[in-house]
Structure 1
Protein backbone atom coordinates (compact mmCIF):
# COMPACT_ATOMS: atom_id res chain seq x y z
CA UNK A 1 0.00 0.00 0.00
CA UNK A 2 1.27 3.49 -0.86
CA UNK A 3 2.16 5.89 1.92
CA UNK A 4 -0.69 7.96 3.35
CA UNK A 5 -0.31 11.54 2.10
CA UNK A 6 -0.63 14.05 4.92
CA UNK A 7 -1.27 17.79 4.99
CA UNK A 8 -0.46 19.59 8.25
CA UNK A 9 -2.45 22.74 9.05
CA UNK A 10 -0.87 24.65 11.94
CA UNK A 11 -0.11 28.35 12.32
CA UNK A 12 2.66 27.93 14.92
CA UNK A 13 5.87 27.11 12.96
CA UNK A 14 7.44 25.23 15.87
CA UNK A 15 4.36 23.07 16.46
CA UNK A 16 4.00 22.49 12.72
CA UNK A 17 7.57 21.19 12.57
CA UNK A 18 6.95 18.90 15.55
CA UNK A 19 3.79 17.53 13.93
CA UNK A 20 5.70 16.97 10.70
CA UNK A 21 8.50 15.07 12.45
CA UNK A 22 6.04 13.01 14.51
CA UNK A 23 4.03 12.13 11.39
CA UNK A 24 7.03 11.06 9.35
CA UNK A 25 8.33 9.00 12.28
CA UNK A 26 5.32 6.69 11.90
CA UNK A 27 5.68 4.06 9.19
CA UNK A 28 3.39 4.53 6.20
CA UNK A 29 2.92 8.32 6.37
CA UNK A 30 4.41 11.05 4.15
CA UNK A 31 3.89 14.78 4.72
CA UNK A 32 3.11 16.39 1.35
CA UNK A 33 2.51 19.91 2.65
CA UNK A 34 2.45 22.25 5.62
CA UNK A 35 0.20 25.34 5.63
CA UNK A 36 -0.64 27.87 8.34
CA UNK A 37 -4.27 28.84 7.71
CA UNK A 38 -7.62 27.48 6.60
CA UNK A 39 -7.76 29.19 3.22
CA UNK A 40 -4.38 27.72 2.28
CA UNK A 41 -5.53 24.29 3.45
CA UNK A 42 -8.66 24.37 1.31
CA UNK A 43 -6.68 25.56 -1.72
CA UNK A 44 -4.03 22.85 -1.23
CA UNK A 45 -6.60 20.04 -1.01
CA UNK A 46 -8.40 21.34 -4.10
CA UNK A 47 -5.19 21.18 -6.16
CA UNK A 48 -3.26 18.20 -4.79
CA UNK A 49 -3.96 14.68 -3.64
CA UNK A 50 -4.22 14.39 0.15
CA UNK A 51 -5.44 11.42 2.19
CA UNK A 52 -5.27 12.87 5.70
CA UNK A 53 -5.22 16.34 7.25
CA UNK A 54 -3.68 17.02 10.66
CA UNK A 55 -5.76 20.06 11.57
CA UNK A 56 -5.45 22.63 14.36
CA UNK A 57 -8.59 24.49 15.46
CA UNK A 58 -7.15 27.88 16.44
CA UNK A 59 -6.14 29.27 13.05
CA UNK A 60 -6.09 32.86 11.71
CA UNK A 61 -9.29 34.04 9.97
CA UNK A 62 -10.94 30.60 9.70
CA UNK A 63 -11.07 28.06 12.56
CA UNK A 64 -10.36 24.39 12.11
CA UNK A 65 -14.05 23.64 12.73
CA UNK A 66 -14.94 25.96 9.84
CA UNK A 67 -12.32 24.37 7.59
CA UNK A 68 -13.69 20.94 8.47
CA UNK A 69 -17.26 22.03 7.71
CA UNK A 70 -16.18 23.43 4.34
CA UNK A 71 -14.34 20.21 3.45
CA UNK A 72 -17.50 18.26 4.19
CA UNK A 73 -19.66 20.72 2.22
CA UNK A 74 -17.38 20.22 -0.80
CA UNK A 75 -17.46 16.45 -0.22
CA UNK A 76 -13.66 16.31 -0.33
CA UNK A 77 -12.49 12.67 -0.05
CA UNK A 78 -10.05 13.39 2.79
CA UNK A 79 -9.88 12.25 6.42
CA UNK A 80 -9.11 14.60 9.30
CA UNK A 81 -7.39 14.21 12.65
CA UNK A 82 -7.73 17.22 14.93
CA UNK A 83 -4.61 18.14 16.93
CA UNK A 84 -5.60 21.11 19.05
CA UNK A 85 -5.81 22.68 22.50
CA UNK A 86 -9.58 23.06 22.07
CA UNK A 87 -11.06 20.86 24.79
CA UNK A 88 -14.43 22.41 25.66
CA UNK A 89 -17.28 19.97 25.17
CA UNK A 90 -19.18 22.24 22.74
CA UNK A 91 -16.24 22.56 20.33
CA UNK A 92 -15.30 18.88 20.59
CA UNK A 93 -18.91 17.86 19.92
CA UNK A 94 -19.04 20.09 16.81
CA UNK A 95 -15.81 18.54 15.57
CA UNK A 96 -16.96 14.96 16.10
CA UNK A 97 -20.23 15.64 14.30
CA UNK A 98 -18.20 16.56 11.22
CA UNK A 99 -16.77 13.04 11.06
CA UNK A 100 -13.12 13.28 12.11
CA UNK A 101 -11.21 10.02 12.48
CA UNK A 102 -9.16 11.20 15.46
CA UNK A 103 -8.79 13.92 18.09
CA UNK A 104 -5.50 14.62 19.88
CA UNK A 105 -5.59 17.22 22.65
CA UNK A 106 -2.57 19.46 23.15
CA UNK A 107 -0.19 19.04 24.86
CA UNK A 108 0.48 15.45 23.83
CA UNK A 109 3.29 12.92 23.74
CA UNK A 110 4.60 11.14 20.66
CA UNK A 111 3.22 7.82 21.93
CA UNK A 112 -0.32 9.20 21.85
CA UNK A 113 0.21 10.72 18.40
CA UNK A 114 1.66 7.48 17.06
CA UNK A 115 -1.18 5.36 18.49
CA UNK A 116 -3.82 7.46 16.72
CA UNK A 117 -1.98 7.39 13.39
CA UNK A 118 -1.35 3.65 13.61
CA UNK A 119 -5.02 2.99 14.36
CA UNK A 120 -5.95 5.06 11.32
CA UNK A 121 -3.41 3.27 9.11
CA UNK A 122 -4.71 -0.12 10.24
CA UNK A 123 -8.27 0.96 9.42
CA UNK A 124 -7.25 2.03 5.89
CA UNK A 125 -5.30 -1.16 5.24
CA UNK A 126 -8.29 -3.29 6.17
CA UNK A 127 -11.07 -1.36 4.45
CA UNK A 128 -9.45 -0.18 1.23
CA UNK A 129 -8.81 -3.76 0.18
CA UNK A 130 -12.53 -4.50 0.13
CA UNK A 131 -15.27 -3.40 -2.24
CA UNK A 132 -18.05 -4.23 0.19
CA UNK A 133 -17.86 -3.99 3.97
CA UNK A 134 -19.22 -6.55 6.40
CA UNK A 135 -20.73 -5.51 9.73
CA UNK A 136 -17.43 -6.17 11.54
CA UNK A 137 -15.65 -3.87 9.08
CA UNK A 138 -18.15 -1.09 9.77
CA UNK A 139 -17.78 -1.69 13.52
CA UNK A 140 -14.02 -1.30 13.10
CA UNK A 141 -14.50 2.05 11.36
CA UNK A 142 -16.45 3.33 14.34
CA UNK A 143 -14.03 1.84 16.88
CA UNK A 144 -11.18 3.81 15.29
CA UNK A 145 -13.12 6.99 16.03
CA UNK A 146 -13.85 5.84 19.58
CA UNK A 147 -10.20 5.01 20.27
CA UNK A 148 -9.11 8.38 18.87
CA UNK A 149 -11.86 10.59 20.23
CA UNK A 150 -11.45 13.66 22.33
CA UNK A 151 -12.91 14.46 25.76
CA UNK A 152 -16.55 14.20 24.66
CA UNK A 153 -18.97 12.42 27.01
CA UNK A 154 -16.33 11.54 29.61
CA UNK A 155 -18.03 9.77 32.55
CA UNK A 156 -18.64 11.79 35.69
CA UNK A 157 -15.65 11.90 38.07
CA UNK A 158 -13.28 10.87 35.28
CA UNK A 159 -10.25 13.02 34.49
CA UNK A 160 -8.98 13.60 30.95
CA UNK A 161 -5.47 13.93 32.37
CA UNK A 162 -5.67 10.53 34.06
CA UNK A 163 -7.07 9.01 30.87
CA UNK A 164 -4.15 10.41 28.88
CA UNK A 165 -1.63 9.15 31.45
CA UNK A 166 -3.00 5.60 31.24
CA UNK A 167 -3.12 5.60 27.43
CA UNK A 168 0.41 7.04 27.16
CA UNK A 169 1.70 4.43 29.63
CA UNK A 170 0.04 1.54 27.78
CA UNK A 171 1.38 2.83 24.45
CA UNK A 172 4.92 2.17 25.72
CA UNK A 173 4.22 -1.41 26.82
CA UNK A 174 4.89 -4.50 24.71
CA UNK A 175 2.97 -7.01 26.85
CA UNK A 176 -0.41 -6.96 28.60
CA UNK A 177 -0.27 -5.75 32.20
CA UNK A 178 -2.49 -6.17 35.25
CA UNK A 179 -4.43 -3.27 36.73
CA UNK A 180 -2.03 -3.31 39.68
CA UNK A 181 1.00 -3.01 37.41
CA UNK A 182 -0.61 -0.21 35.41
CA UNK A 183 -1.58 1.62 38.60
CA UNK A 184 2.00 1.47 39.84
CA UNK A 185 3.36 2.64 36.50
CA UNK A 186 0.97 5.60 36.25
CA UNK A 187 1.02 6.50 39.95
CA UNK A 188 -2.65 5.97 40.82
CA UNK A 189 -4.56 3.49 42.99
CA UNK A 190 -5.41 0.03 41.67
CA UNK A 191 -9.14 0.73 42.12
CA UNK A 192 -8.88 3.92 40.05
CA UNK A 193 -6.84 2.18 37.37
CA UNK A 194 -9.41 -0.61 37.16
CA UNK A 195 -12.30 1.87 36.69
CA UNK A 196 -10.54 3.62 33.80
CA UNK A 197 -9.39 0.37 32.21
CA UNK A 198 -12.92 -1.06 32.22
CA UNK A 199 -14.12 2.15 30.54
CA UNK A 200 -11.41 1.86 27.87
CA UNK A 201 -12.38 -1.79 27.30
CA UNK A 202 -16.00 -0.71 26.69
CA UNK A 203 -14.76 1.89 24.17
CA UNK A 204 -12.61 -0.67 22.35
CA UNK A 205 -9.40 1.23 23.11
CA UNK A 206 -8.03 -1.45 25.45
CA UNK A 207 -8.14 -5.23 25.11
CA UNK A 208 -8.69 -7.35 28.23
CA UNK A 209 -7.42 -10.92 28.53
CA UNK A 210 -7.43 -13.38 31.42
CA UNK A 211 -4.34 -15.20 32.67
CA UNK A 212 -4.99 -18.39 34.64
CA UNK A 213 -2.44 -19.05 37.39
CA UNK A 214 -1.53 -22.38 38.97
CA UNK A 215 -2.43 -20.92 42.37
CA UNK A 216 -5.03 -18.29 43.21
CA UNK A 217 -7.53 -16.37 41.12
CA UNK A 218 -6.99 -15.61 37.42
CA UNK A 219 -5.55 -12.18 36.61
CA UNK A 220 -7.05 -9.74 34.11
CA UNK A 221 -4.44 -8.16 31.86
CA UNK A 222 -4.84 -5.09 29.65
CA UNK A 223 -3.20 -3.99 26.41
CA UNK A 224 -3.74 -0.91 24.23
CA UNK A 225 -5.54 -1.67 20.96
CA UNK A 226 -3.59 -0.27 17.98
Structure 2
Protein backbone atom coordinates (compact mmCIF):
# COMPACT_ATOMS: atom_id res chain seq x y z
CA UNK A 1 0.00 0.00 0.00
CA UNK A 2 1.28 3.46 -0.93
CA UNK A 3 1.65 5.96 1.91
CA UNK A 4 0.22 9.40 1.13
CA UNK A 5 0.72 12.75 2.87
CA UNK A 6 -1.67 15.60 2.06
CA UNK A 7 -0.42 19.18 2.44
CA UNK A 8 -3.24 21.70 1.87
CA UNK A 9 -4.28 24.80 3.80
CA UNK A 10 -7.93 24.74 2.66
CA UNK A 11 -9.83 22.27 4.92
CA UNK A 12 -12.48 21.54 2.29
CA UNK A 13 -9.92 20.78 -0.42
CA UNK A 14 -7.90 18.69 2.02
CA UNK A 15 -11.00 16.64 2.84
CA UNK A 16 -11.72 16.20 -0.86
CA UNK A 17 -8.15 15.06 -1.51
CA UNK A 18 -8.38 12.53 1.31
CA UNK A 19 -11.76 11.23 0.10
CA UNK A 20 -10.59 10.76 -3.49
CA UNK A 21 -7.31 9.17 -2.40
CA UNK A 22 -8.86 6.65 -0.06
CA UNK A 23 -11.36 5.51 -2.67
CA UNK A 24 -8.39 3.67 -4.16
CA UNK A 25 -7.48 0.74 -1.92
CA UNK A 26 -3.84 0.93 -3.02
CA UNK A 27 -3.37 4.18 -1.08
CA UNK A 28 -3.45 5.08 2.60
CA UNK A 29 -3.43 8.68 3.84
CA UNK A 30 -0.86 8.77 6.65
CA UNK A 31 -1.03 12.44 7.66
CA UNK A 32 -2.53 15.79 6.66
CA UNK A 33 -0.89 19.18 7.14
CA UNK A 34 -2.05 22.75 6.56
CA UNK A 35 1.41 24.16 5.85
CA UNK A 36 4.69 23.03 4.36
CA UNK A 37 6.86 23.58 7.43
CA UNK A 38 4.94 21.14 9.63
CA UNK A 39 4.91 18.65 6.77
CA UNK A 40 8.67 18.99 6.34
CA UNK A 41 9.31 18.31 10.02
CA UNK A 42 7.26 15.11 9.85
CA UNK A 43 8.62 13.94 6.49
CA UNK A 44 12.19 14.33 7.71
CA UNK A 45 11.69 11.37 10.04
CA UNK A 46 8.80 9.45 8.43
CA UNK A 47 8.68 7.68 5.05
CA UNK A 48 6.05 8.49 2.43
CA UNK A 49 5.49 7.44 -1.17
CA UNK A 50 3.38 10.30 -2.49
CA UNK A 51 2.59 13.91 -1.55
CA UNK A 52 -0.72 15.53 -2.54
CA UNK A 53 0.58 19.06 -2.33
CA UNK A 54 -0.78 22.60 -2.70
CA UNK A 55 1.49 25.38 -3.99
CA UNK A 56 0.26 28.48 -2.17
CA UNK A 57 0.16 28.03 1.60
CA UNK A 58 1.05 30.24 4.57
CA UNK A 59 4.36 29.83 6.39
CA UNK A 60 5.99 27.51 3.83
CA UNK A 61 4.77 26.99 0.27
CA UNK A 62 4.55 23.70 -1.58
CA UNK A 63 7.39 24.82 -3.81
CA UNK A 64 9.53 25.59 -0.73
CA UNK A 65 8.71 22.17 0.69
CA UNK A 66 9.70 20.30 -2.46
CA UNK A 67 12.94 22.23 -2.78
CA UNK A 68 13.89 21.44 0.81
CA UNK A 69 12.99 17.76 0.43
CA UNK A 70 15.08 17.45 -2.72
CA UNK A 71 17.97 19.20 -0.97
CA UNK A 72 17.75 16.53 1.72
CA UNK A 73 17.88 13.80 -0.92
CA UNK A 74 14.22 12.79 -0.70
CA UNK A 75 12.79 11.11 -3.81
CA UNK A 76 9.14 11.15 -2.67
CA UNK A 77 6.75 11.70 -5.57
CA UNK A 78 4.37 14.66 -5.59
CA UNK A 79 1.05 15.46 -7.23
CA UNK A 80 0.34 19.19 -7.14
CA UNK A 81 -3.27 20.25 -6.52
CA UNK A 82 -3.37 24.01 -6.89
CA UNK A 83 -4.91 27.14 -8.34
CA UNK A 84 -1.49 28.25 -9.62
CA UNK A 85 -1.42 28.88 -13.38
CA UNK A 86 1.93 30.66 -13.76
CA UNK A 87 4.34 29.19 -16.30
CA UNK A 88 7.30 29.89 -14.01
CA UNK A 89 5.72 27.93 -11.16
CA UNK A 90 4.93 24.98 -13.40
CA UNK A 91 8.45 25.00 -14.81
CA UNK A 92 10.01 25.03 -11.34
CA UNK A 93 7.80 22.18 -10.15
CA UNK A 94 8.50 20.04 -13.21
CA UNK A 95 12.23 20.43 -12.57
CA UNK A 96 11.64 19.16 -9.03
CA UNK A 97 10.16 15.92 -10.33
CA UNK A 98 6.42 16.50 -9.86
CA UNK A 99 4.41 13.46 -10.98
CA UNK A 100 1.29 15.38 -12.01
CA UNK A 101 -0.20 18.87 -11.80
CA UNK A 102 -3.94 19.35 -11.17
CA UNK A 103 -5.49 22.81 -11.42
CA UNK A 104 -8.45 23.58 -9.16
CA UNK A 105 -11.28 22.89 -9.63
CA UNK A 106 -10.52 19.29 -10.64
CA UNK A 107 -12.73 16.26 -11.16
CA UNK A 108 -12.64 12.94 -9.34
CA UNK A 109 -11.80 11.29 -12.66
CA UNK A 110 -8.78 13.53 -13.24
CA UNK A 111 -7.59 12.98 -9.66
CA UNK A 112 -7.81 9.22 -10.17
CA UNK A 113 -5.79 9.54 -13.37
CA UNK A 114 -3.03 11.18 -11.35
CA UNK A 115 -3.04 8.30 -8.86
CA UNK A 116 -3.09 5.73 -11.65
CA UNK A 117 -0.17 7.42 -13.36
CA UNK A 118 1.87 7.32 -10.17
CA UNK A 119 1.15 3.61 -9.68
CA UNK A 120 2.00 2.65 -13.24
CA UNK A 121 5.28 4.55 -13.22
CA UNK A 122 6.23 3.09 -9.85
CA UNK A 123 5.38 -0.46 -10.90
CA UNK A 124 7.18 -0.03 -14.21
CA UNK A 125 10.36 1.08 -12.44
CA UNK A 126 10.08 -1.69 -9.84
CA UNK A 127 9.97 -4.37 -12.54
CA UNK A 128 12.75 -3.05 -14.74
CA UNK A 129 16.31 -4.17 -14.11
CA UNK A 130 17.60 -2.61 -17.32
CA UNK A 131 15.66 -0.17 -19.48
CA UNK A 132 15.35 -0.14 -23.25
CA UNK A 133 14.62 2.91 -25.39
CA UNK A 134 11.01 1.74 -25.65
CA UNK A 135 10.74 1.56 -21.85
CA UNK A 136 12.13 5.08 -21.54
CA UNK A 137 9.75 6.43 -24.19
CA UNK A 138 6.71 5.02 -22.42
CA UNK A 139 7.83 6.30 -19.02
CA UNK A 140 8.67 9.81 -20.22
CA UNK A 141 6.29 10.54 -23.06
CA UNK A 142 3.14 8.50 -22.69
CA UNK A 143 0.31 9.25 -20.28
CA UNK A 144 0.36 6.45 -17.72
CA UNK A 145 -2.59 7.87 -15.89
CA UNK A 146 -4.84 6.96 -18.75
CA UNK A 147 -3.45 3.60 -19.81
CA UNK A 148 -5.86 1.46 -17.81
CA UNK A 149 -9.08 0.35 -19.53
CA UNK A 150 -11.87 2.64 -18.28
CA UNK A 151 -14.52 1.27 -15.98
CA UNK A 152 -17.80 0.66 -17.74
CA UNK A 153 -16.15 0.24 -21.12
CA UNK A 154 -18.72 1.01 -23.82
CA UNK A 155 -18.75 -1.15 -26.93
CA UNK A 156 -20.37 1.67 -28.92
CA UNK A 157 -17.49 3.99 -28.08
CA UNK A 158 -14.96 1.30 -28.98
CA UNK A 159 -16.68 0.74 -32.32
CA UNK A 160 -16.83 4.49 -32.98
CA UNK A 161 -13.12 4.91 -32.32
CA UNK A 162 -12.19 1.85 -34.40
CA UNK A 163 -14.24 3.20 -37.29
CA UNK A 164 -12.72 6.68 -37.08
CA UNK A 165 -9.19 5.26 -36.88
CA UNK A 166 -9.82 2.92 -39.79
CA UNK A 167 -11.27 5.70 -41.95
CA UNK A 168 -8.21 7.84 -41.27
CA UNK A 169 -6.13 5.28 -43.16
CA UNK A 170 -2.98 6.11 -41.24
CA UNK A 171 -1.62 7.22 -37.90
CA UNK A 172 -3.39 9.61 -35.54
CA UNK A 173 -2.68 11.10 -32.13
CA UNK A 174 -5.29 10.62 -29.43
CA UNK A 175 -6.22 14.31 -29.81
CA UNK A 176 -6.80 13.91 -33.54
CA UNK A 177 -8.82 10.73 -33.09
CA UNK A 178 -10.88 12.27 -30.31
CA UNK A 179 -11.75 15.21 -32.57
CA UNK A 180 -12.79 12.87 -35.40
CA UNK A 181 -14.89 10.67 -33.12
CA UNK A 182 -16.40 13.49 -31.08
CA UNK A 183 -14.95 12.43 -27.72
CA UNK A 184 -12.36 14.00 -25.44
CA UNK A 185 -8.65 13.30 -25.89
CA UNK A 186 -8.59 11.70 -22.43
CA UNK A 187 -11.39 9.28 -23.39
CA UNK A 188 -9.76 8.51 -26.74
CA UNK A 189 -6.42 7.75 -25.07
CA UNK A 190 -8.00 5.38 -22.56
CA UNK A 191 -9.82 3.40 -25.20
CA UNK A 192 -6.80 3.42 -27.50
CA UNK A 193 -4.58 1.95 -24.81
CA UNK A 194 -7.21 -0.71 -24.14
CA UNK A 195 -7.19 -1.60 -27.84
CA UNK A 196 -3.38 -1.66 -27.85
CA UNK A 197 -3.48 -4.17 -25.00
CA UNK A 198 -5.93 -6.27 -27.01
CA UNK A 199 -3.71 -6.19 -30.11
CA UNK A 200 -6.28 -4.24 -32.13
CA UNK A 201 -4.18 -1.06 -32.40
CA UNK A 202 -0.45 -0.41 -32.70
CA UNK A 203 1.23 2.57 -31.08
CA UNK A 204 4.68 4.10 -31.38
CA UNK A 205 6.48 7.33 -30.56
CA UNK A 206 6.65 9.89 -33.38
CA UNK A 207 9.79 12.02 -33.14
CA UNK A 208 9.23 13.88 -36.44
CA UNK A 209 6.84 16.48 -35.04
CA UNK A 210 9.18 19.47 -35.01
CA UNK A 211 8.48 19.74 -31.29
CA UNK A 212 7.76 17.40 -28.41
CA UNK A 213 7.51 13.71 -29.44
CA UNK A 214 4.00 12.27 -29.29
CA UNK A 215 2.39 8.84 -29.35
CA UNK A 216 0.55 7.92 -32.55
CA UNK A 217 -1.82 5.03 -33.21
CA UNK A 218 -2.95 2.98 -36.19
CA UNK A 219 -5.52 0.27 -36.57
CA UNK A 220 -4.40 -3.33 -37.07
CA UNK A 221 -6.44 -4.81 -39.96
CA UNK A 222 -8.79 -7.49 -38.61
CA UNK A 223 -7.12 -7.14 -35.21
CA UNK A 224 -3.85 -8.65 -36.49
CA UNK A 225 -0.55 -7.17 -37.67
State if a TM-score over 0.5 links the two structures.
Answer: yes
In the TM superposition, residue 147 of structure 1 has moved relative to its aligned partner by 6.5
Q: Secondary structure at the match of 2:32?
A: strand
2:101 corresponds to which of 100, 103, 114: 103
CA contact (8 A) 2:78 2:99 kept: yes
TM-score by length of 2: 0.67
Partners of 1:54 and 1:18 in 2: CA distance:
11
Aligned to 1:161: none
Give runs of aligned pairs for residues 55-204 of structure 1, distance below 5 A: 55-143=53-141, 174=153, 175-176=157-158, 177=161, 178=164, 179-183=179-183, 203-204=214-215
On the 8 A contact 1:79/1:100 being kept in 2, the answer is: yes
* Contact 1:10 1:37 (C-alpha < 8 Å) held by counterparts: yes
Structure 1 runs not aligned, ≥5 long? 149-166, 187-198, 214-226
Once the 2 structures are TM-superposed, how far is the Cα of residue 45 of structure 1 from its aligned partner? Answer: 1.1
What TM-score comes out, normalization by structure 1 length?
Answer: 0.67
Instruction: Name whichever of 123-132 and 56-65 sits farther off.
Output: 123-132
Where do 5+ consecutive residues of structure 2 fail to align? 165-178, 187-208
The residue number in structure 1 matching 2:219 is 210
> Could you say what the CA RMSD is over the residues aligned between the two structures, in angstroms?
3.1
Alignment of 1:14-93 (within 5 A): 14-93=12-91
- Offset of residue 23 of structure 1: 0.8
Q: CA deviation at 1:68?
A: 1.0
Residues matched between the structures, number: 176
Q: Offset of 1:13 from its aligned partner?
A: 1.0
Q: Which has the higher contact order (CA 8 A, sep 6+)?
A: 1
Deviation at 1:132, TM superposition (A): 3.1
Alpha-carbon offset, residue 99 of structure 1: 1.3
